[in-house]
């Protein structure tokens, strides 16, 4: 199979390419990525010399960039992905997540190839009790979530109008190696290592449903090979935690691995002003992918968190380059000091 992976230099995309090259050594993968602040070729250093892997620097919004590519399937990870940045300026979210996806849909239409659109549970908005299923209404609350919901709507329209073989996945919060340190898990680990305040928004009682990135990648593999065109699949590991629970677990694991007293790190927790429009709880029902595609998550949360802390401890070179670069400026605008 000839796969075009877009946004493959980011967190989930790079883990997905690693998974696919290991599971299907005869597949050919083109990774097209604009290399925004979140794109990092060091995420793929171990595979960039593979003969069946090619990197192309480019923008999914460029309508001619795909002309000469032979493609059986597109897996679209390319996006602006951080909610807080969408609150500061939504422009790049609309350009990439909406117009960029539209351009990819036109490409899939012209090439008559499969289009797997990697979306998010955030498009459903917040739910106090119960779970969203694939037929739930889309009620996005942040500009990021709205841009993803808009892209999902476009995908749906291309299935209905142009018979594009598109599938949408909506996954819950991912954690694991190579996650950019603006997101909660790596932010907590790195601030703990650097003995910096750990910002918890509001009262810390917002709930997120956590899944290890490898389980998400296995789910996408199942959807790509066994999913039905036109379908939507929720992906989640039934692992809800309040933010403060997740932060405390991360600090427990970090202190254990550093061999220090846990209180030295829990004392860094600082409750800060809430994120505007902050969704209270994300919760999706993954029964459809579990039942129809026989996918189940494998990674135990406690073990996955330990391994993730270990990964950041062992890969200081990787994150030092990030925290000392452009990201440091963003961090200062958010939290008023350097990481």
Question: How many other C-beta atoms lie within 10 A of the C-beta of residue 298?
Answer: 11
Select from ligand TDX, ligand NAD, none the partner in contact with residue 206, using the beta carbon and a kind-dependent cut-off of 5 to 8 Å: ligand TDX
The answer to the question of residue 183 lying near ligand TDX (CB under 6 A) is yes
CB 268 within 8 A of CB 194: no
Strand partners, 5: 31, 75
The answer to the question of residue 330 lying near ligand TDX (CB under 6 A) is no
Active site residue 122: yes
Q: Which residues bind ligand NAD (CB under 6 A)?
A: 6-7, 9-13, 33-36, 38-39, 59-61, 77-79, 81, 96, 100, 118, 120, 148, 171, 173-174, 180
12-47 residues labelled b (16+ CB within 10 A) or e (exposed): bbbbbbbbbbeeeeeebbbbbbbebbbbbeebbeeb
The answer to the question of residue 199 lying near ligand TDX (CB under 6 A) is yes
Q: Name which of 271 and 296 has its Cβ closer to ligand TDX.
A: 271
Among 242, 215, 220, which residue's Cα sits nearest to residue 233? 220
Among 327, 272, 281, which residue's Cα sits nearest to residue 173? 281
CB 142 within 8 A of CB 86: yes
The answer to the question of residue 201 lying near ligand TDX (CB under 6 A) is yes
Strand partners, 55: 31
For β-strands 232-235 and 53-57, DSSP reports them as unpaired
State the Cα–Cα distance between residues 5 and 14, nearest whole angstrom: 9
Select from ligand NAD, ligand TDX, none the partner in contact with residue 36, using the beta carbon and a kind-dependent cut-off of 5 to 8 Å: ligand NAD
Q: Name which of 82 and 265 has its Cβ closer to ligand NAD.
A: 82
3-state secondary structure of 282: coil
> What ranges make up the beta strands (E) of the chain?
2-6, 28-33, 53-57, 73-76, 114-120, 166-171, 173-175, 198-201, 207-212, 232-235, 240-242, 269-272
Q: Name which of 270 and 315 has its Cβ closer to ligand NAD.
A: 315
Catalytic residue among 33, 59, 80, 121: 121
Active site residue 144: yes
Catalytic residue among 33, 80, 122, 279: 122
The answer to the question of residue 248 lying near ligand TDX (CB under 6 A) is no
State the Cα–Cα distance between residues 144 and 92, nearest whole angstrom: 10
Select from ligand NAD, ligand TDX, none the partner in contact with residue 227, using the beta carbon and a kind-dependent cut-off of 5 to 8 Å: none
Active site residue 42: no
Strand partners, 118: 169
The answer to the question of residue 82 lying near ligand TDX (CB under 6 A) is yes
* Residue nearest ligand TDX, CB atom distance: 120
- DSSP string computed for 159-213: HHHH---EEEEEE-EEESTT--TTSHHHHHHHHHHTT--EEEETTS--EEEEEEH
Q: Name which of 9 and 187 has its Cβ closer to ligand NAD.
A: 9
State the Cα–Cα distance between residues 242 and 322, nearest whole angstrom: 28
Smallest gap, in angstroms, from Cβ of residue 337 to ligand NAD?
Answer: 23
Number of residues that bind ligand TDX (CB under 6 A): 16
Select from ligand NAD, ligand TDX, none the partner in contact with residue 12, using the beta carbon and a kind-dependent cut-off of 5 to 8 Å: ligand NAD
The answer to the question of residue 7 lying near ligand TDX (CB under 6 A) is no
CB 31 within 8 A of CB 17: yes
Select from ligand TDX, ligand NAD, none the partner in contact with residue 208, using the beta carbon and a kind-dependent cut-off of 5 to 8 Å: ligand TDX
The answer to the question of residue 86 lying near ligand TDX (CB under 6 A) is no
The answer to the question of residue 243 lying near ligand TDX (CB under 6 A) is yes
* Residue nearest ligand NAD, CB atom distance: 10
- The residues annotated with a catalytic role in the active site are 121-122, 144
* Contact residues: ligand TDX, CB under 6 A: 81-83, 120, 122, 173, 183-184, 187, 199-201, 206, 208, 243, 275
């Amino acid at each position: 199979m000839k796969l075009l992976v877009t946004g493959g230099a980011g967190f989930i995309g790079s883990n997905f390419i690693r998974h696919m090259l290991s599971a299907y050594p005869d597949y050919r993968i083109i990774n097209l990525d604009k290399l925004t602040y979140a794109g990092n070729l060091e995420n793929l250093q171990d595979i960039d010399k593979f003969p069946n892997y090619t990197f192309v620097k480019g923008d999914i919004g460029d309508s001619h960039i795909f002309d000469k590519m032979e493609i059986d399937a597109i897996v679209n990870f390319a996006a602006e992905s951080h909610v807080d940045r969408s609150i500061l300026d939504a422009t790049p979210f609309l350009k990439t997540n909406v117009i960029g996806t539209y351009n990819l849909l036109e490409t899939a239409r012209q090439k008559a190839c499969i289009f797997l659109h990697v979306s998010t549970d955030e498009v459903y908005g917040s739910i106090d009790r119960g779970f969203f299923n694939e037929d739930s209404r889309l009620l996005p609350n942040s500009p990021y979530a709205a841009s993803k919901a808009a892209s999902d709507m476009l995908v749906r329209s291309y299935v209905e109008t142009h018979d594009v073989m598109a599938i949408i996945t909506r996954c819950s919060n991912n954690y694991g190696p190579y996650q950019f340190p603006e997101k909660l898990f790596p932010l907590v680990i790195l601030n703990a290592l650097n003995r910096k305040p750990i910002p918890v928004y509001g009262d810390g009682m917002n709930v997120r449903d956590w899944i290890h990135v490898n389980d998400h990648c296995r789910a996408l593999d199942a959807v790509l090979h066994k999913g039905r065109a036109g379908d939507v699949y929720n992906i989640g590991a039934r692992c809800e935690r309040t933010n403060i629970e997740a932060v405390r677990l991360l600090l427990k694991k970090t202190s254990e691995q550093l061999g220090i007293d846990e209180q030295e790190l829990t004392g860094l927790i600082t409750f800060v002003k809430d994120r505007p429009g902050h969704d209270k709880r994300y919760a999706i029902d993954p029964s459809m992918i579990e039942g129809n595609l026989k996918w189940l998550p494998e990674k135990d949360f406690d073990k996955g968190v330990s391994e993730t802390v270990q990964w950041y401890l062992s890969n200081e070179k990787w994150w030092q380059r990030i925290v000392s670069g452009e990201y440091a400026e963003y961090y200062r605008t958010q939290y008023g000091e350097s990481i």
